[in-house]
Amino acid sequence: MDVPWLDRTQLAAWVRVAALLEVLPGTLDGQLRRDADVTLFEYFVLAMLSESPTRSLRMSELAAQTSATLPRLSHVVKRMESRGLVERRPDPDDRRATTCVLTDGGLARIEQAAPGHVAAVREHVVDVLTPEQITQLTGIADALLRSLDSSGGMAAMYRRYDDGAVSGAPGAATPPVRP
Partner DNA sequence: TTCCAACAGTTGTCGCTTCAACTTCTTCGG
Partner DNA sequence: CCGAAGAAGTTGAAGCGACAACTGTTGGAA
The least distance separating DNA from the CB of residue 170, rounded to whole angstroms, comes to 29
The least distance separating DNA from the CB of residue 44, rounded to whole angstroms, comes to 10
The entry of a second copy, DNA, none that residue 30 binds, CB within 5 to 8 Å by partner kind = DNA
39 binds DNA (CB under 7 A): yes
Could you tell me if 54 and 39 are in contact, meaning their C-beta atoms sit under 8 angstroms apart? Answer: no
Buried b (16+ CB within 10 A) or exposed e, 94-118: eeeebbbbbbeebbebbeebbeebe
Largest CA distance in the chain: 57
In whole angstroms, give the CA distance from residue 139 to residue 158: 12
Contact letters (x/-) for DNA, 43-72, by CB under 7 A? Answer: ---------------xxx--x----xxxxx
The least distance separating DNA from the CB of residue 177, rounded to whole angstroms, comes to 19
Could you tell me if 102 and 55 are in contact, meaning their C-beta atoms sit under 8 angstroms apart? Answer: yes
Is the Cβ of residue 72 or residue 163 nearer to DNA in the bound state? 72
In whole angstroms, give the CA distance from residue 144 to residue 154: 12
Q: Residue 54 has what DSSP assignment?
A: T
The least distance separating DNA from the CB of residue 140, rounded to whole angstroms, comes to 22
Is the Cβ of residue 73 or residue 102 nearer to DNA in the bound state? 73
Stretch that binds DNA, among 7-15, 74-82, 122-130, 146-154 (CB under 7 A): 74-82
In whole angstroms, give the CA distance from residue 30 to residue 43: 12
Give the footprint of DNA on this chain (CB under 7 A).
Answer: 26, 30, 33, 39, 41, 58-60, 63, 68-79, 88, 91, 94-99
